[in-house]
Amino acid sequence: MDIKTIISQMTLEEKAGLCSGSDFWHTKAVERLGVPSIMLSDGPHGLRRQRKDSDIPNESIEAVCFPTGSAAACSFDRELFRTLGEAIGRECQAEDVQVILGPAVNMKRSPLCGRNFEYLSEDPCLAGELAASQIAGTESQGVGTSLKHFAANNQETRRMTVSAELDERTLREIYLAQFETAVKKGKPSTLMCSYNRINGVYSSENKRLLTDILRGEWGFDGLVMSDWGAVNRRPEGIAAGLDLEMPASNGVTDQEIVEAVKEGRLAESDLDVCVERVLWLVEKTMSARRPEASFDREADHQLARKLAAQCMVLLKNENNLLPLDGKKPVAFLGAFAKEPRFQGGGSSHINAWKVTSALEAAQGKYQVTYAQGYPTGKDEIDEALLAEAVETAKNAYAAVVFAGLPDSFESEGFDRSHMNMPRCHNALIEAVCRVQPNTVVVLHNGSPVEMPWLPQAPALLEAYLAGEASGGAVTDLLFGEENPSGRLAETFPKRLADTPSFLNFPGEPKKVEYREGIFIGYRYYDKKEMEVLFPFGYGLSYTQFQYSGMRVSRQKFTDQETVAVSLKVKNTGSRPGREVVQLYVESLPGPQKKMIRPVRELKGFEKVFLLPGEEKEVAFSLDSRAFACYSESLGGWFVESGDYVLTAAKSSREPVLCQTVTVQGTKALPCRFTMESSVEELMEHEKARQLLQELIFHSTTGMEGGNMGEGSEAMEEAMMREMPLRSFRSFGGVSTGQLQELLEKITK
Ligand code: BGC
């Protein structure tokens, strides 16, 4: 396809038309010029492709539902994400889908966000790295991905109009960083803009976001599409860099584009850029199309089971209750044992090919009994079901209670208003724990819940929404066929009121202020030294791991250099297992450290598989970004000079080994001195310090006012330190002219 020639032959109407879909899932074809249409489908954890024989947009083909983002991220495993991406790519090829709409990497600002089950983490490093691997996996199959939802789409409430109000540092460090990593490392063919506004400007017409940052700073060279129905003003969107509007606008916005060009409000060259990118995507994906491709659903189902087992997180295991003895009778209690909740509601909902429940997976292999325990999808307790479950529990050697959140409690489209599980689920756990000391709780939920029963439950497995094969994975873990290796990709707080965005979620009718700033997730809880249920990065195993020999390649370096970090990890237990080594960076206080920072931030992670007794070296490489902050005044990233602790840890709260390094920053924050600059600020700048000292020497600076009581010396010292330059006129007998002269000399 000769794109330039095609564009030169297109009419204005054809160009405008190409910039929106032909229907819900296809781009337009331009038949007279040989431009075919391509198909886009959801995403992100499996294929939701509309059936060819159906006009109903959401009637989709059967496909394999892999673990959702909430579960998959707990793997902390790039390889797993790559495998997941490849599998989804293969299914897309077989079903003739050119672009899959995912992965979704919005930060989990609040546990209440209805769509958290699709999102990966509260940490941008983890989300960005994992998404990059999934993207690379899918794209390797010749299928495009669409990284979404760009950006700051962290709630469902009024998601189509709300304005996320946040400062530049927070935007860059927390809400854009994961997109940046995924774009740079994963190289997605497309990116989907979000519905919401950011500081008042809709993402769909946000030139700064879609062009200046995305393309200018990060080098993205793919196509930007709208979320479904996210377009506000189409011509402005074209000018901002929104190439494709989805779904079809039924010609309305095509006409608006044509008029805007004719009236000179939109440059045709801007439209041509968007057209070129649509044609580029069509060409790229159609030339990689493999019409003869097929996929093996059973193999993918088995893969989904294997992946799910590597995602689930063992959160509690008193007296090594797990793994269970497969030869003794075990009671499976709770409707989720028979009908697991394995995915969420909304656009990611897959017509799952085959669903295996834990009960089905265990029956015939282990001695399991079953009782429903609670009514499906309800909050109220059913006393008869409860009593039956308690009796079943009593008659077994151990009980496994399957509980969590039903579909009606969380979904795309709305946020939760509380973190409670249904009363009937809590009641079942409590009642079973009272009669059965060997009780294991298995949770199926897309986001953290409060756990009033936790002290009574000796074992807890967080299974999240782990895809259609989650039942098999749960059984494999419960009976020790697999060893748990998931680690929480988000903090589990004790209660909703503890969460960082509690006072500002979901905000006011038109806006939501991100007042907690960069302090979301563990960055907040750790800084506040707050007790949590389970910290970020936490998870247990049936074996033990020992860390040793942490080394850094250099102790002192500049922010232009990288540092290599390595350590050894040994499996000291008796089972094969996977360990997640997490590398955090902590900025120690120092004379040149001015920025408010989290206690420590995740900057690297590696998952290693180890046989009993086996030891492996784990290596990381950190560049300047691992130490950097974003400065609005600098308009970029910079490293504060000073000491940093590199910590190899098992969670954000469990440091194991550490090394301190000294980093020399090469970019200084701009110093623009004014009459309001304080003595303290001026003293840090060599030239300013000298000039100020000279001036003070000749002045009469001092505090008048007699004895102001004990501590007056300290007060005088503090006042002097913090005094703005202008006050030297009152306290120092210095004239305005002298101060202006000083400022001029400093900036010369
Ligand atoms: C969702 C997107 C999804 C699209 C198409 C939107 O409502 O926000 O994530 O890809 O619909 O189904």
Tokens of 596: 């408010």
Contact 9, 275 (CB under 8 A): no
Q: So what's the pLDDT on residue 700?
A: 57
For the segment 598-621, the average pLDDT, to the nearest whole number, is 98
Distance separating alpha carbons of residues 440 and 397, to the nearest angstrom: 11
Looking at ligand 1, which residue's alpha carbon is closest to its atom 3?
Answer: 347
Q: Where residue 709 falls among pLDDT bands split at 50, 70, 90?
A: confident
For the segment 546-554, the average pLDDT, to the nearest whole number, is 98
For the segment 442-456, the average pLDDT, to the nearest whole number, is 98
Looking at ligand 1, which atom is closest to the CA of residue 148? 9
Looking at ligand 1, which atom is closest to the CA of residue 149? 9
- In Å, what is the CA distance from 246 to each residue of 19, 24, 45, 200? 9, 7, 20, 22
Distance separating alpha carbons of residues 83 and 70, to the nearest angstrom: 17
* Distance from Cα 90 to the centre of ligand 1, integer Å: 21
303 phi/psi in degrees, rounded to 5: -65, -45
Q: So what's the pLDDT on residue 671?
A: 73
Contact 665, 638 (CB under 8 A): yes
For the segment 82-109, the average pLDDT, to the nearest whole number, is 98
Q: Does the beta carbon of 166 sit less than 6 angstroms from any atom of ligand 1?
A: no
Q: Which of 122 and 745 is assigned the larger pLDDT? A: 122
Q: So what's the pLDDT on residue 701?
A: 53
Q: So what's the pLDDT on residue 715?
A: 84
Residues 6+ apart with CB under 8 A from 633: 669, 670
CA nearest to 479, candidates 574, 400, 394 = 400
Looking at ligand 1, which residue's alpha carbon is closest to its atom 9?
Answer: 347
Q: Where residue 699 falls among pLDDT bands split at 50, 70, 90?
A: low
- CA–chain centroid gap for 23, Å, is 30
Q: Does the beta carbon of 165 sit less than 6 angstroms from any atom of ligand 1?
A: no
Q: So what's the pLDDT on residue 431?
A: 98
For the segment 38-54, the average pLDDT, to the nearest whole number, is 92
**Which mutation among 24, 58, 99, 101 tests ligand 1's pocket best, with the greatest number of atoms within 8 A of CB?**
101
The DSSP symbol for 212 reads I
* Distance from Cα 89 to the centre of ligand 1, integer Å: 19
Q: Does the beta carbon of 227 sit less than 6 angstroms from any atom of ligand 1?
A: yes
Q: So what's the pLDDT on residue 667?
A: 85
Q: So what's the pLDDT on residue 686?
A: 86
Looking at ligand 1, which residue's alpha carbon is closest to its atom 8?
Answer: 227
Q: Where residue 716 falls among pLDDT bands split at 50, 70, 90?
A: confident
Distance separating alpha carbons of residues 191 and 156, to the nearest angstrom: 19
* Distance from Cα 122 to the centre of ligand 1, integer Å: 21
List, in sequence order, every beta strand (DSSP E) within 75-167. 99-101, 144-150, 163-165
* Distance from Cα 647 to the centre of ligand 1, integer Å: 39
Q: Does the beta carbon of 347 sit less than 6 angstroms from any atom of ligand 1?
A: yes
Q: Does the beta carbon of 42 sit less than 6 angstroms from any atom of ligand 1?
A: yes
Looking at ligand 1, which residue's alpha carbon is closest to its atom 12?
Answer: 347
Pairing mode, if any, of strands 62-63 and 351-352? parallel
Each residue of 446-469: b (16+ CB within 10 Å) or e? bbbbbbebbeebbbbbbbbbbbbb
- In Å, what is the CA distance from 188 to each residue of 49, 218, 706? 20, 12, 70
Looking at ligand 1, which residue's alpha carbon is closest to its atom 7?
Answer: 228
Q: Where residue 162 falls among pLDDT bands split at 50, 70, 90?
A: very high
Q: Does the beta carbon of 43 sit less than 6 angstroms from any atom of ligand 1?
A: yes
Please determine, for residue 601, whether its predicted confidence score (pLDDT) is greater than 70: yes
Distance separating alpha carbons of residues 656 and 669, to the nearest angstrom: 34
Contact 265, 248 (CB under 8 A): no
The predicted-structure confidence for 626-679, as pLDDT tens digits, reads as follows: 999 999 988 999 999 999 999 999 999 999 999 999 999 998 777 789 999 999
CA triple 83-89-94, angle to 5 deg: 130
* Distance from Cα 485 to the centre of ligand 1, integer Å: 31
Question: Which residue, chain included where needed, has tokens 């501590």?
Answer: 711
Please determine, for residue 113, whether its predicted confidence score (pLDDT) is greater than 80: yes
Q: First and final CA of the chain: distance in angstroms?
A: 58
* Distance from Cα 57 to the centre of ligand 1, integer Å: 12
Q: Does the beta carbon of 156 sit less than 6 angstroms from any atom of ligand 1?
A: no
Q: Of all residues in the chain, what percent are helix, strand and coil, respectively (each to 5)?
A: 35, 20, 45
* Distance from Cα 516 to the centre of ligand 1, integer Å: 28
Q: So what's the pLDDT on residue 423?
A: 98
Distance separating alpha carbons of residues 523 and 122, to the nearest angstrom: 9
* Distance from Cα 246 to the centre of ligand 1, integer Å: 10
Q: What's the pTM?
A: 0.96
For the segment 419-427, the average pLDDT, to the nearest whole number, is 98
Looking at ligand 1, which atom is closest to the CA of residue 247? 5
Looking at ligand 1, which atom is closest to the CA of residue 48? 12
Looking at ligand 1, which atom is closest to the CA of residue 104? 9
Residue 124: helix, strand or coil by DSSP? helix
**Which mutation among 26, 39, 41, 42 tests ligand 1's pocket best, with the greatest number of atoms within 8 A of CB?**
42
- Identified catalytic residue from 42, 77, 123, 227: 227
Among the ranges given (337-341, 508-512, 655-659, 736-740), the one the predictor scored with the smallest mean pLDDT: 736-740
Looking at ligand 1, which atom is closest to the CA of residue 194? 8
Q: So what's the pLDDT on residue 720?
A: 84
Q: Where residue 541 falls among pLDDT bands split at 50, 70, 90?
A: very high
Please determine, for residue 324, whether its predicted confidence score (pLDDT) is greater than 90: yes
CA nearest to 477, candidates 298, 614, 307, 343 = 307
Please determine, for residue 158, whether its predicted confidence score (pLDDT) is greater than 70: yes
Contact 670, 634 (CB under 8 A): yes
Exposed, middle or buried by CB within 10 Å (0-12, 13-18, 19+), for 298?
exposed
- In Å, what is the CA distance from 118 to each residue of 72, 466, 482, 721? 10, 11, 25, 50
Q: So what's the pLDDT on residue 706?
A: 60
Q: Does the beta carbon of 228 sit less than 6 angstroms from any atom of ligand 1?
A: yes
Residue 658: helix, strand or coil by DSSP? strand
The predicted-structure confidence for 333-376, as pLDDT tens digits, reads as follows: 999 999 999 999 999 999 999 999 999 999 999 999 999 999 99
Residues 6+ apart with CB under 8 A from 386: 373, 374, 424, 427, 428, 431
**Which mutation among 203, 347, 348, 349 tests ligand 1's pocket best, with the greatest number of atoms within 8 A of CB?**
347
The predicted-structure confidence for 187-209, as pLDDT tens digits, reads as follows: 999 999 999 999 999 999 999 99
Q: Which of 709 and 471 is assigned the larger pLDDT? A: 471
- CA–chain centroid gap for 309, Å, is 21
Contact 519, 500 (CB under 8 A): yes
Please determine, for residue 182, whether its predicted confidence score (pLDDT) is greater than 90: yes
Q: So what's the pLDDT on residue 672?
A: 82
Looking at ligand 1, which atom is closest to the CA of residue 102? 10
3-state secondary structure 429-493: HHHHHHHCCCEEEEEECCCCCCCCCHHHCCEEEECCCCCCCHHHHHHHHHCCCCCCCCCCCCCEC
Task: Return mean pLDDT, the chain.
Answer: 95
Tokens of 27: 């781009």
The predicted-structure confidence for 203-250, as pLDDT tens digits, reads as follows: 999 999 999 999 999 999 999 999 999 999 999 999 999 999 999 999
Distance separating alpha carbons of residues 331 and 367, to the nearest angstrom: 8
Q: So what's the pLDDT on residue 587?
A: 98
Q: So what's the pLDDT on residue 705?
A: 54
Q: So what's the pLDDT on residue 526?
A: 98
Q: Does the beta carbon of 148 sit less than 6 angstroms from any atom of ligand 1?
A: yes
* Distance from Cα 231 to the centre of ligand 1, integer Å: 13
* Distance from Cα 146 to the centre of ligand 1, integer Å: 11
Active site annotation includes 379: no
